[in-house]
Amino acid sequence: MFSHVMVGADDIDAAKKFYDACFIALGGREGSVDPKGRVMYIKDGSIFIVTKPIDGQPACHANGGTIGFDVDSPEMAEAWHAAGLANGGTAIEDPPGIREGAGMQMHLAYLRDPAGNKVCTMKRMG
Amino acid sequence: MLNHIMIGSGDIEKSKSFYNAVLGVLGAGEPMAHVNDTGQTRLFYNHDGSTFSISEPINGEPVNPSNGSTIGFKCGSPEQVVELHDVAIANGGTSIEDPPGPRDGSMGVMHLSYFTDPDGHKICGIHRPG
């Protein structure tokens, strides 16, 4: 359903450091910087992009918004979380682990990126 | 790669009516509604292997859209890119950027349309030929 998702950041270098580490933990690669200075990550048929806002105003994260990435296993999620924390991310919500929600068990791990965008990994269990 | 995307809503019924119409263009069905332990209603549109979800913010603060962010929905044809936009505008969305149509991007020609939803989140429809 999703072609791509783009998030805003004022400090693209800090964002690249964070997302490079996170995507490598997911089995992806470092981002490439396009001619407009945006960092692009292409994986499994979809695209994640970090950009400075084109209106020249400061970036701000959404209240109520989260972007969830696929992971193969809880171990991969924990590696993603640790990589993010070591590269400028902030741990939020409960620590990575299994939670019950909407009638199913999910392994979830949550971080804020250096610009404050809320990101998580999700793996449905069982 | 993208398991799900969640956005905040200040009026869940309005969001439902908007996204039922817009995501209906892509063939998505009615969302599953769920009230979480802290009382926020969420809608989950499961379609094509991923989930788009709309939530009342769990911290009780007002919704604010992110500056710099866009969510791009895959469309099956250039016509569907236009239809997605037109249905959005007819259901409370606002047209932004250039009118729907083809543009040259860093990865070749793409068909794009841009709008904001009733909460101000920036959404686009995209079709890459070939």
User: What pLDDT sits at residue A57?
Assistant: 96
The enclosing H or E element of A7 equals strand A2-8
Q: Which residues 7-46 of A have a C-beta within 8 angstroms of B?
A: 7-9, 26, 28, 34-36, 41, 43-46
Query: Contact B42/B36 with Cβ under 8 angstroms?
Result: yes
- Amino acid A82: pLDDT: 98
**Is A2's CB within 8 Å of B57's CB?**
no
B45 has pLDDT over 80: yes
- Whether the pLDDT of residue A102 is over 70: the answer is no
pLDDT band at B105 (very low <50, low <70, confident <90, very high): confident
Is B57 an interface residue toward A (CB < 8 Å)?
yes
The DSSP secondary structure of A86-124, one letter per residue, reads TTT-EE-SSPSEEEEETTEEEEEEEEE-TT--EEEEEEE
- Interface confidence, given as ipTM, is 0.93
What does the alpha-carbon distance between residue A96 and residue A82 come to, in Å, rounded to a whole number?
A: 10
pLDDT tens digit string along A67-85?
999 999 999 999 999 999 9
Lowest mean pLDDT among A32-41, A99-108, B64-73: A99-108
Both tokens of residue B4? Answer: 């799900």
Per the CB < 8 A criterion, the answer to whether A13 and A33 are in contact is: no
Task: Summarize pLDDT for A2-50 with one digit per residue, the tens.
Answer: 999 999 999 999 999 999 999 999 999 999 999 999 999 999 999 999 9
Judged against a pLDDT cut of 70, whether residue A119 lies above it is answered with: yes
Q: How far is CA B80 from the centre of its chain?
A: 14
Using the predicted structure, report yes or no on whether residue B108 has a pLDDT greater than 90.
no
Query: B59 phi and psi, to 5 degrees?
Result: -95, 5
* Beta bridge mates, B5: A67, B52
Residue A111 pLDDT: 98
A9-18, A102-111, B65-74: the lowest-pLDDT one: A102-111
Question: CB–CB of A5 and B69 under 8 A?
Answer: yes
pLDDT of B130 over the 90 cut? no
Q: Which of B7, B34, B56 sits opposite A62 (nearest CB)?
A: B7
Average pLDDT over residues B69-76: 97
Nearest CB among A45, A55, A65 relative to B6 is that of A65
| Mean pLDDT, chain B, integer | 95
Q: Does A100 touch chain B (CB under 8 A)?
A: no
By the 10 Å C-beta count (0-12 exposed, 13-18 middle, 19+ buried), B129 is classed as exposed
Chain A partners of B32 at a C-beta cutoff of 8 Å? 102
Positions of E strands within B20-69: 32-35, 41-47, 50-55
Mean per-residue pLDDT for B108-122? 96
